[in-house]
Amino acid sequence: MVLALGPLLMGAAVAAVPAPSPECAVDDSRLDELSGMVVHDGDLWAMGDGGRRVQVHRLDRSSCAVVDTRTADVDPYDAEDLAVGPDGALWVGDTGDNERGRDTVAVVVLPRRGDARLHRLTYPDGPHDAEALLVDASGRPFVVTKEVGRPAGLYRTADPPDGVGPTPLLRVGELALPASDTLGGPVGGIGSRVVTGAAMSADGAVVAVRTYTDAWLFPVQDGDLVAALNETPVRVPLPDEPQGEAIAFDDDGTLLSGSETRGGVLGEIRAVPEATAMAGAPTPVGTRPVDTSGTGAPPPGSDLAADPGPPDWLPAALGGVVVVGVLLLLSAAAALRGRRR
């Protein structure tokens, strides 16, 4: 299924919520590049997106100090997000690809007990950069790509991955977030539509997709993540984060957001109470034709089969040159900081 969420979501609601309240500053160097968070059974786990080894850290809820660490003997390329599987295992999304040159991406599963499991994944339509990972109730990884100037791609496996693989990903939809006037992030207004993380509530009833500036809350019915991301979302502004990439739901429905340390400003974990209650009831906004080929290709004869041209929500003033320039600057900055090998 391929979804069209761009123009149809322009009327998305802005939740009447208080500003995110600071919980604690993250001053451990292992989390300078805080990129993913989850809460499971009351424990807050976080990870950074650098390093030569998979590491997930349990944090003290009051101080953000690291109190425990799970590791895997896996050298990741660019681990970007963290999710929880249906059995409570932590899933690390090694899906970053700034230069879009990887043949495969991967997820690394860290169970409560036993050895870590590595599953390599392949896109059906070439490499993508991605910083957002979810795991559905069946144990299938669900990846939301990070795109500049076009909708994000939605990909998942047909079944739970088994073995190293690679396991094919299917393109199951696309997501174009509405406009936002929230200030923050490293790249100005363009960052308000760039997907940098995702999270699912403990009961599976709400999904959050975040950008550098906002969280977008989608109600979920019957565990269907593709249909959920075709609902009208509620916007929760997350202003003034230096580089916000991490997001999670606490067990009580509180939304937690986190930023990297950037420009000498420490990353911070902030909270928006009772966020899941803001998502409301599902309100379908329409779909595009269904792909039945299993390849993720647009249905023959549909409007998706032709080149759609520039998205109508991209400000004309940006132009292709500026978009490419932003991508090059981001990739160069990441390389200088030693985030990519």
Q: DSSP string spanning 208-225?
A: EEE-SSEEEEEE-STT-H
Quick one: CA torsion of 250, 255, 261, 262, rounded to 10 degrees? 170
Tokens at residue 213, please? 């500036």
- H-run or E-run covering 328: helix 319-336
Rounded Cα–Cα distance for residues 255 and 195 (Å): 17
Phi/psi class of residue 177: alpha, beta or left (left: φ > 0; alpha: ψ in -120 to 50)? beta
- Look up the pTM and report it: 0.81
Q: What is the pLDDT of residue 82?
A: 98
Rounded Cα–Cα distance for residues 76 and 35 (Å): 14
Which amino acid, one-letter code, is at 236? V
Q: Which of 3, 6, 1 is nearest to 286 (CA)?
A: 3
Are 176 and 313 a contacting pair, CB within 8 Å?
Answer: yes
The DSSP secondary structure of 75-110, one letter per residue, reads --S---EEEE-TTS-EEEEE---TTS--S-EEEEEE
- Among all chains, which residue has been given the structure tokens 């950037």? 262
State how far the alpha carbon of 82 is from the alpha carbons of 19, 182, 198, 212, 323, in Å.
25, 25, 9, 17, 28
CB-based contacts of 291: which residues, under 8 Å, 6+ apart? Answer: 1, 2, 171, 297, 298, 299
Residues of the chain falling short of pLDDT 50: 1-11, 283-341
Tokens at residue 306, please? 């032709």
Q: Which of 81, 127, 82 is nearest to 104 (CA)?
A: 127
Q: What is the pLDDT of residue 16?
A: 64
Rounded Cα–Cα distance for residues 45 and 181 (Å): 30
Q: Which long-range contacts (CB under 8 A, 24 or more apart) does 292-296 make?
A: 294/158, 294/170, 295/124, 295/170, 296/124, 296/125, 296/155, 296/170, 296/171, 296/172
Rounded Cα–Cα distance for residues 180 and 59 (Å): 31
Rounded Cα–Cα distance for residues 126 and 123 (Å): 6
Q: What is the pLDDT of residue 281?
A: 56
Phi, then psi, of 269 in degrees rounded to 5: -100, 130
Are 76 and 67 a contacting pair, CB within 8 Å?
Answer: no
Greatest Cα pair distance, the chain, in angstroms, is 56
Q: Which domains does the chain have, with CATH numbers?
A: 7-298+308-336 (2.120.10)
